[in-house]
Structure 1
């Protein structure tokens, strides 16, 4: 008797755990025909320029890269002079999760600002304004906004505009780390341009891998005057794929139609469902659920019970806070099974979380 394999597990650790969307895989297969010029001189990458212009505006141009860290490093280098520094939050991915790649590869100093919700404000830029022109200090030349933030919160268009206006007044360029830009746009029900080009953003690291792609992102330049040299820096930073058509084909599958929006809406909806299930247990959620992430204070015995089946990450061990992420392929059954197990464990162990410190 042949025993069927177990159903593939779905976890709540990261949207990077998800596989590739079938429409993305079909696009890669469709691009796998004959020979095509290498290094981006192919029809798929050419068509991607039209799609990006339609999504972000006529001045936008796309440079496919291999991963999100590469997109951020290339974009920030292009937006900053050699003596420049980048203002970001203490929670930013570029600050915490890229193994100092902006510093070591890009040669950039990061000026990290403490926040409670993962978002920068114009006042956060003003704290560095007095250092501009001081030869003893790294010059703040770029502000990097993470959208949605590492805490799962989102910037509204008005909030982005306020930061961008102040940044430009100070002579700074504006970068958006948009690994989850689609989730923010879906939550706010706005277009990608309304969240970037229309509110003063100069360059975007456009996400793909967290929203249904096999691999790959794109640096999308919105203001070429403020962000020059991306084509050269992409190669120098080892982010130019020789068979670029396969990255571009994925980006086309995601952004030419509405797949980016369908995937993001679904992930957000699953996070809403998960948040409701967590709230029903009486556990404390620490930030609003505005994209596809839920942050909850989970007692260690409860976390241990759940980790027998599901993976998820500690976020702040001092407060027993964990991060739960949903993806384009998370199902209602996945969420309900997790929440049922969570509720049972809370009934067994209680919901007491040790105080920080």
Structure 2
């Protein structure tokens, strides 16, 4: 039986997105420390240099980090760096680049998105191989890169063996592999792995490394993995080409910050493990634990509220009566995701963050019970 802690007051913290959370105090302190004196602009500063070293320590020798301003920019730059103007991007039908980036890969990158319907947001080897017949057909956008979201938009996680199978299938067809890692930390925390085990070691070529959803203030990074770690000669060549292209693409897509040191300082703080456990893991573990607690409480309520997806990262999906959802939303902001099992029901998404406390979760559960 889950013991709930009463929450005082009518308004609860939002469960809409982990983007709503404040920046972690250690990140804010790192930004303040980087604000001491002058530093060379556009990434030629000590923080960016140290970030490059740390990324190689985490992801492997030859990995290269390019700080950018936001996640959409990271995705667009990474995809452009691994494709041509006539190329297509194989993606899940719920991929963030398809549903929530206002067509940026298509508008900015000129790339066709080739989507596949998925179960709980995860692509399969069959989804990759389905595009094999398109290769060489001048009438079709040429599949050139596979993009995976880790953790997925539906709160699920690809296991390392799943990613390895997908990268092998993609490389066999000549496709590069990109990971939208806005919640890569949450996936690694759930699986008990490092970041390398979900990327370099399983054949991924390029990563959009997230920070803002996991305690950062502003900025992400494009990480091109090392050519020497590539599983095939073709992948090694693609990585070299991407590493050469990203600096120019980053500038031309307006993703190069003049004061890059402040972005680099955040990423460096999240990756450093001087405290015995890196901040990215501590924050992601807290967010995942909050979601697990929320799910247990929702399942205990039963009745008119039903969990609909696996909870493997920091999201809980459930259906409930639309009226109950509207009443609950008066006390805590969250988003509708899809229609429910009937016209009178709706599927909602409840997101937890590094800052979500047990008290926050318990108060939300009390409010949910009252709304029902």
TM over 0.5: yes
Counterparts of 1:37 and 1:8, CA distance in 2 = 45
Q: Distance in 2 between matches of 1:285 and 1:9?
A: 21
Q: CA RMSD for the aligned pairs?
A: 1.3
Structure 1 stretch displaced more, 6-15 or 111-120: 6-15
Q: What's the counterpart of residue 13 of structure 1?
A: 16
Structure 2 residue ranges without an equivalent (≥5): 1-8, 228-236
CA distance in 2: counterparts of 1:298 and 1:26, whole angstroms: 41
**Counterpart of 1:277?**
297
User: Contact 1:10–1:18 (CA<8 Å) still a contact in 2?
Assistant: no
Q: Does 1:303 align with 2:298?
A: no
* Structure 2 CA distance for aligned equivalents of residues 318 and 298 of structure 1: 8
- Equivalent position of 1:315 in the other structure: 337
Instruction: Summarize deviations over 1:99-127 as a string: whole Å, max 9, x none.
Output: 00000001000001001210111110111
**Contact 1:203-1:223 at 8 Å conserved across structures:** no
For residue 203 of structure 1, what is the aligned residue in structure 2? 206
Match of 1:78 in 2: 81
Residues 319-338 of structure 1 show CA distances to partners (whole Å, capped at 9, x for unaligned) of 41000000000000000000
Q: CA deviation at 1:9?
A: 5.4
Is 2:189 aligned against 1:186?
Answer: yes
Give the TM-score normalised by the residue count of structure 1. 0.94
Of residues 235, 256, 262, the one that matches 2:272 is 256
1:1-357 map, 5 Å: 10-223=13-226, 225-227=237-239, 228=242, 229-257=245-273, 258-282=278-302, 283-319=305-341, 320-346=346-372
Residues 9-32 of structure 1, C-alpha deviation per residue, up to 9 Å, x if partnerless?
521000000010000000000000
Number of residue pairs matched by the alignment:
341
Measure, in 2, the Cα distance between the counterparts of 1:235 and 1:299.
48
Q: Which residue of 2 aligns with 1:350?
A: none
| TM-score, structure 2 normalization | 0.90
CA distance in 1, matches of 2:12, 2:348: 19
CA distance in 2: counterparts of 1:110 and 1:318, whole angstroms: 27
* Contact 1:38 1:242 survives alignment (8 Å): yes
